[in-house]
Amino acid sequence: MESSTGPVLRRNDSTRLPRKLDSIRSAGDSLIVRKIALALALSAVLAGATSAVAQARWVRLDGAVQWIAANTMMLVADGGSSVNIDLTKVPLDQYRGVGPGDRVTVVGLVSPDNRKVYGTSITLSGYQGFQAP
């Protein structure tokens, strides 16, 4: 049944909408689906980011300083491996007098690529400096 202003709904046919309203409803439904998909994708990305932060590994390394320059220190760990230590987060007074051969304990976080340790604290331990033969 149509009137002069356009199609109308019948009282007993509540499931069928006029064409204009039907196309508006489907456009609105697809917009809602897009928003839900975007929200799910965003939550998945954020969940991945928080799990990466949760996987940060704290380490404590004991060893001897091989060399130190600016904000970087190379530590020869007691196991024999050399470890690059980033000192940007360590207070300067903790490593001001540290030099090659000094025994230290470093606490920090392993970098995501496992190539260095972001130091958070350094303490002197054991004997200091190289010993002459």
Name the fold adopted by 58-124.
OB fold (Dihydrolipoamide Acetyltransferase, E2P) (2.40.50)
Closest CA to 61 of 43, 52, 73, 69: 73
Q: Taking 60 as the threshold, does the pLDDT of residue 124 lie above it? A: yes
- Position 27 scores a pLDDT of 57
How far apart CA 84 and CA 78 sit, in angstroms, is 14
Residue 115 near residue 96 (C-beta atoms within 8 A)? no
Q: What pLDDT does 28 receive?
A: 59
With 0-12 CB in 10 A as exposed, 13-18 as middle and 19+ as buried, what is 105? middle
Q: Note the pLDDT of residue 128.
A: 59
**What confidence category does residue 133 fall into, taking pLDDT thresholds of 50, 70 and 90?**
low
The rounded mean pLDDT for the chain is 78
Residue-range domain boundaries for the chain = 17-54, 58-124
Q: Give the pLDDT of residue 71.
A: 94
Q: How far apart are CA 107 and CA 17, in angstroms?
A: 68
Whether the pLDDT of residue 6 is over 80: the answer is no
Q: What confidence tens digit (pLDDT) does each residue in 50-99 have?
A: 455 556 799 999 999 999 999 999 999 998 999 999 999 999 999 998 99
Q: Each residue of 85-99: pLDDT tens digit?
A: 999 999 999 999 899
Count Cβ atoms within 10 A of the Cβ of residue 63 and give its class: 0-12 exposed, 13-18 middle, 19 or more buried.
Answer: buried
